[in-house]
Amino acid sequence: MIALQLTTEGRLKHFLTVEGLSRNLLTEILDTAESFVGGPGQPIKKVPLLRGKTIVNLFFENSTRTRTTFELAAKRLSADVLNMSIATSSTAKGESLLDTIRNLEAMFVDMFVVRHNISGSAHFIAQHTAPHISVINAGDGQHAHPTQAMLDMFTIRQIKPDFAKLRVAIIGDILHSRVARSQIQALNTLGAAEVRVIAPKTLLPTHVESLGVSVCHSLTEGLKDIDVIIMLRLQKERMASALLPSEAEYFKCFGLTESKLKIAKTDAIVMHPGPINRGVEIESSVADGPQSVILRQVSNGIAVRMAILSMAMQPQGGG
Amino acid sequence: MIALQLTTEGRLKHFLTVEGLSRNLLTEILDTAESFVGGPGQPIKKVPLLRGKTIVNLFFENSTRTRTTFELAAKRLSADVLNMSIATSSTAKGESLLDTIRNLEAMFVDMFVVRHNISGSAHFIAQHTAPHISVINAGDGQHAHPTQAMLDMFTIRQIKPDFAKLRVAIIGDILHSRVARSQIQALNTLGAAEVRVIAPKTLLPTHVESLGVSVCHSLTEGLKDIDVIIMLRLQKERMASALLPSEAEYFKCFGLTESKLKIAKTDAIVMHPGPINRGVEIESSVADGPQSVILRQVSNGIAVRMAILSMAMQPQGGG
Amino acid sequence: MIALQLTTEGRLKHFLTVEGLSRNLLTEILDTAESFVGGPGQPIKKVPLLRGKTIVNLFFENSTRTRTTFELAAKRLSADVLNMSIATSSTAKGESLLDTIRNLEAMFVDMFVVRHNISGSAHFIAQHTAPHISVINAGDGQHAHPTQAMLDMFTIRQIKPDFAKLRVAIIGDILHSRVARSQIQALNTLGAAEVRVIAPKTLLPTHVESLGVSVCHSLTEGLKDIDVIIMLRLQKERMASALLPSEAEYFKCFGLTESKLKIAKTDAIVMHPGPINRGVEIESSVADGPQSVILRQVSNGIAVRMAILSMAMQPQGGG
């Protein structure tokens, strides 16, 4: 895994998972992203770093928001972007994933940004693609969503620069969340004082402690001493599968309200990967309130993805 | 409304409706469009006015033609364009319109071109979006389609420069037409001698005269002394709703034929916003005939949209 | 046909079919494509030949692969590209093909790349479009797919430069294949020693010999002395129409296996337009084997399409 992501010189080649990457490398990503950010409220300037390169957004699973930020990041780096939504494409003609990849390689593209509903898809493509091509994981099944985790880290660091002092709570459906998995790995690698998961038992993986987290089944209890609150999106289809009683019941126990927010530290920030289910996992007034940094996460997504795209596309022979 | 569209210096900020805009401002739009047009039959040159800007085509209602001309206009201004067709997008995940807007704002986009089947959508977005963002209405419900009206005014002025001398007939489904509403406002503001609507009673709004038009229920009678004939597209779904007897019956009474065209002035021009229903509201030989300027309207659409996009994107602090 | 494709000076204006084009012109296309190819394994550089031009990919029939290579070719020539998938577009509003073309012309586009399921569509558009516009056929019904044939010729010439020495076998559903029709014409024009079609009788047109080919109904027999093997894609829907017994039966008789490949010359190359049906018309080990040039065909598709786009877009007045 680690070897697959790095060149022999230890530079980023693919970005598939946060797992196994060093604190130095994660910090380099955050620092590079920093360099793309303008002043406060300033848009990101267009730079010619990837001029002449072709990036393929290879989305086997629909996601307007993630695809859009990758597309904007690529365009701000002056790359050409090819959007391929594969559900409606030649897989309909029975072409296998590998044949699709081989054909795109043959078209001289430089990078795949892959979103797939099957865990491990991005790894599979990275293992089998041509040596000059980089692969970025934009979410694979329930496995990982590493660029989301890195933009979350970037947002945290902007406001609370010292991870060693931070207690972070991740709240919601940990069991099915690729975002949570990547966040936990990133927070531990960056040395957060504590990563606490708060969820009903039915939405936690077995042996969840082995991921390096503390566990709490009550929101009221779990929010004590917390600096950073990360809400997860509740997939409504979980309701049908009997893992959850009802939206109203879930909101009562695990929804973040203004009164519950007061349990955390007074300067705690509230995060959410979006899209938000208002009134299900989070109260509207909290999502839009002064402690929320949810939209800042979206903004930071562009700079962080620019950092990852440009780092992975550096010439491999370099020092 | 007026205040919403203009900066404190009176410059164009959003373009949501023609209603309330001054004759000076409409003339400035037409003059700016003029500057983008090449010689006769010449294509429009690419200019770097909006380089580095990102324009989002936010289409909640499908329209290939309008989206395409906005996309071409944006590209000729060197802007980056993001096409978002929202029916197939994250609203499927239950994200509200405002959350969609907030997220796109956070991605540092500069302008929304909005098409929506609900009247007032573009106004709603303009009222709630961030201060640095401009909103262009590309058609909202039955309310307004102001860029279409302006390209019609531009086309009229190219051929018949003095509005004060013109009698203009608008023919067809005035009741449901956002195009007609915007055309009537523009023609009155620009000082047309007469705006005459010609339609069956079932396709006219009550108190239509209050819009500043004269009314006629017969095409034969209504075309007398007319300089400019604007046909509207007949939405075939109106038939089902019993507002109209049949296509054949409609064509007999209100379809523009060669013989009816002779009733108007001999140098009258024939306009239509497209797409045309040949043999329903207009005879093919008229649509393709020497008095038709229908395709010129399409060409002018690009220059006029370039004018509106670039004027709305000017720095607000300017004189 | 010929006149339609060429300017009065004999230069390429439209590219609709290989039929009737001279060996000189086909060779000029191949030579021009050569100039775009980098070193071995090198990507194609971006050139400013079509800067400021607008190319419309007008696809009435879905084809991700062909559209993508045309889009990449256009972008490497620095053209602006407009993708229009017409099934989901304004034809839904009942606009005729000609009205669609007239409207796009009016938007100052420079070229149509047309894919349509009806034979003759590209010719029809070329006959009716404005004089300054070029039309490229990207596949029309069962008639022609000339850019595919040219990239095949380019690939053959890269490896076996002297067509006069080559015996070429085309294997599979000749009856319904626009690719085969264009390949046969190109090979004959370029002077191939023999073009041999190998297929069951049900998948051959009547009087197929009149196309300038020899005919064989057995793969074992037909592969003798062959230098170039071109497999066709089997459209699985043919099974249902009772033209073929079953996939397994077809593979047994006409599928290219390693053992059958040994019948051809030892340095024979294996080609396929893609996407491949592995285990139906071709064994996986052959498709991925050392004699296969299938992916090289894909790569060459970009250079060859760049050649055709740029040649068709040259100023007509030139010598």
- The angle formed by the CA atoms of residues B284, B285 and B287, to the nearest 5 degrees, is 60
Report CA-CA distances (Å) from A6 to A22, A113, A148, C37, C298. Answer: 11, 17, 20, 30, 29
In a domain, C119, yes or no: yes
Give the span between the Cα atoms of B271 and B292, in whole angstroms.
Answer: 6
| The pLDDT of residue A319 is above 70 | no
In a domain, C319, yes or no: no
Q: Where is mean pLDDT largest: A38-42, A231-235, C154-158?
A: C154-158
| The pLDDT of residue C290 is above 90 | yes
Token readout for B256 is: 């523009």
What ipTM, to 2 d.p.? 0.88
State which residues form the domain around C134: 2-143+299-312
B72 in contact with C, Cβ within 8 Å: yes
Question: H or E stretch including C170?
Answer: strand C167-171
Note if C65 is an active site residue.
yes
Give the span between the Cα atoms of C130 and C98, in whole angstroms.
Answer: 11
Task: Give the strands of the sheet with C214-216, arranged side by side.
Answer: C214-216, C194-198, C167-171, C228-231, C269-271
Q: What is the mean pLDDT of residues C264-283?
A: 95
| The pLDDT of residue C252 is above 50 | yes
B84 in contact with A, Cβ within 8 Å: yes
B103 in contact with A, Cβ within 8 Å: yes
Q: Cis omega before residue B200 (within 30°)? A: no
Number of H helices, E strands in chain B: 13, 9
In a domain, C48, yes or no: yes
At C1, the amino acid letter reads M
pLDDT digits (tens, 9 = 90+) for A15-65: 999 999 999 999 999 999 999 997 766 778 889 999 989 999 999 988 888
C274 in contact with A, Cβ within 8 Å: yes
A131 in contact with C, Cβ within 8 Å: no
Token readout for A110 is: 């430089």
Q: What is the mean pLDDT of residues A208-222?
A: 96
Q: What is the mean pLDDT of residues A165-181?
A: 96
- The angle formed by the CA atoms of residues C214, C217 and C220, to the nearest 5 degrees, is 100
In a domain, C318, yes or no: no
Give the span between the Cα atoms of C45 and B210, in whole angstroms.
Answer: 62
In a domain, B172, yes or no: yes
Percentage with pLDDT > 90 across chain C:
79
* Contacting residues of A for C77, CB less than 8 Å apart: none
**Beta-carbon count within 10 A of B289 CB:** 14
* Contacting residues of C for A110, CB less than 8 Å apart: 43
Q: What pLDDT shows up at residue B92?
A: 45
The candidate with the shortest Cα–Cα distance to A76, out of A267, A309, A318, is A309
Residues C245 and C193 in one domain: yes
| The pLDDT of residue C93 is above 60 | no
Contact B103 A295 (CB under 8 A): yes
Token readout for C7 is: 């300017």
**A304 and A154 in contact (C-beta within 8 Å)?**
yes
Report CA-CA distances (Å) from C317 to B20, C8, C130, C314. Answer: 50, 9, 16, 9
* Gyration radius of chain A over CA positions: 19
- When pLDDT is cut at 50, 70 and 90, the band that residue C222 belongs to is very high
Give the span between the Cα atoms of C49 and C52, in whole angstroms.
Answer: 9
Give the span between the Cα atoms of B148 and B136, in whole angstroms.
Answer: 12
Give the span between the Cα atoms of A179 and A272, in whole angstroms.
Answer: 10
Residues A204 and A92 in one domain: no
At B31, the amino acid letter reads D
B209 in contact with A, Cβ within 8 Å: no
Give the span between the Cα atoms of A181 and A211, in whole angstroms.
Answer: 8
| Nearest-CB residue to C106 (from B62, B278, B299) | B299
At B245, the amino acid letter reads P
Token readout for C302 is: 């970009």
pLDDT digits (tens, 9 = 90+) for C95-149: 688 898 999 999 999 999 999 999 999 999 999 999 999 999 999 999 999 999 9
Q: Longest C-alpha distance within chain C, in Å?
A: 57
Contact C65 A105 (CB under 8 A): no
B127 in contact with A, Cβ within 8 Å: no
Q: What pLDDT shows up at residue C63?
A: 83
The candidate with the shortest Cα–Cα distance to B106, out of A86, A275, A131, is A275
CA torsion C207-C212-C218-C221 (nearest 10°) is 150
**A120 and A273 in contact (C-beta within 8 Å)?**
no
Q: Longest C-alpha distance within chain A, in Å?
A: 57
In a domain, A305, yes or no: yes
Residues B275 and B175 in one domain: yes
**Parallel, antiparallel, or unpaired: how do β-strands A167-171 and A80-85 relate?**
unpaired
Token readout for A9 is: 């010189």
Q: What is the mean pLDDT of residues A224-236?
A: 93
At C197, the amino acid letter reads V
- Residues 6 or more apart whose Cβ sits within 8 Å of residue A290: none
Residues A139 and A55 in one domain: yes
pLDDT digits (tens, 9 = 90+) for A284-299: 999 999 999 999 999 9
Residues C159 and C281 in one domain: yes
Give the span between the Cα atoms of B143 and B119, in whole angstroms.
Answer: 5
Residue of chain B whose Cα is closest to the Cα of A295: B106
Which of residues C65 and A255 earns the better pLDDT score? A255
Token readout for A27 is: 């910090």
The candidate with the shortest Cα–Cα distance to C187, out of C206, C212, C217, is C212
CATH code: domain of residue A220: 3.40.50.1370
| The pLDDT of residue A90 is above 60 | no
Contact C107 B63 (CB under 8 A): no
- When pLDDT is cut at 50, 70 and 90, the band that residue C7 belongs to is very high
Residues B53 and B195 in one domain: no
- When pLDDT is cut at 50, 70 and 90, the band that residue C14 belongs to is very high
Question: H or E stretch including B229?
Answer: strand B228-231
Contact A90 C275 (CB under 8 A): yes
Give the span between the Cα atoms of A114 and A274, in whole angstroms.
Answer: 19
**Beta-carbon count within 10 A of B217 CB:** 15
B89 in contact with A, Cβ within 8 Å: yes
Residues B139 and B155 in one domain: no
CA torsion B77-B79-B82-B85 (nearest 10°) is -20
* Contacting residues of A for B82, CB less than 8 Å apart: 68, 71-72
DSSP-derived 3-state class of residue C136: strand
Contact B103 A298 (CB under 8 A): yes
Q: What pLDDT shows up at residue C41?
A: 66
Residues C138 and C85 in one domain: yes
Question: H or E stretch including C188?
Answer: helix C178-189
Å between C107 CA and nearest CA of chain B: 5
Residues C118 and C210 in one domain: no
- DSSP class per residue in A196-246: EEE--GGGS-TTGGGGT-EEES-HHHHTTT-SEEEE-PPPTHHHHTTSSS-
Give the span between the Cα atoms of A105 and B83, in whole angstroms.
Answer: 26
DSSP state of B42: P
CB contacts under 8 A, C 217-246 vs A, are 236
**Least confident span in A80-84, A223-227, A244-248, B183-187:** A244-248
DSSP-derived 3-state class of residue A76: helix
* Contacting residues of A for C44, CB less than 8 Å apart: 108
Token readout for C201 is: 């009788």
Residues A278 and A161 in one domain: yes
Residues C138 and C163 in one domain: no
Averaged confidence pLDDT in chain A: 91
In which residue are the tokens 């395709």 written? B295
List residues of A with catalytic annotation. Answer: 65-66, 93, 115, 145
| The pLDDT of residue A316 is above 50 | no
- When pLDDT is cut at 50, 70 and 90, the band that residue C52 belongs to is confident
Q: What pLDDT shows up at residue A318?
A: 38
Note if C115 is an active site residue.
yes
Residues in chain B, pLDDT under 50: 88-90, 92, 316-319
* Contacting residues of A for C148, CB less than 8 Å apart: none
Residue of chain A whose Cα is closest to the Cα of B79: A75
| The pLDDT of residue C317 is above 50 | no
At C135, the amino acid letter reads V
In a domain, B317, yes or no: no
Token readout for A180 is: 């949570």
Residues B176 and B264 in one domain: yes
Contact C99 B276 (CB under 8 A): yes
What burial letters (b/e) apply to A171-190, b meaning 16+ CB within 10 Å?
bbbbbbbbbbbbbbbbbbbb
pLDDT digits (tens, 9 = 90+) for A126-153: 999 999 999 999 999 999 999 999 999 9
Residue of chain B whose Cα is closest to the Cα of C109: B43
Q: What pLDDT shows up at residue A94?
A: 55
What burial letters (b/e) apply to A274-302, b meaning 16+ CB within 10 Å?
bbbbbebbbbeebbbeebbbbbbbbbbbb
- Residues 6 or more apart whose Cβ sits within 8 Å of residue C155: C271, C293, C296, C297, C300
In a domain, B163, yes or no: yes
- If one counts the domains in chain B, the total is 2
| Partners of residue B169 on adjacent β-strands | B196, B229
Q: What pLDDT shows up at residue A314?
A: 78
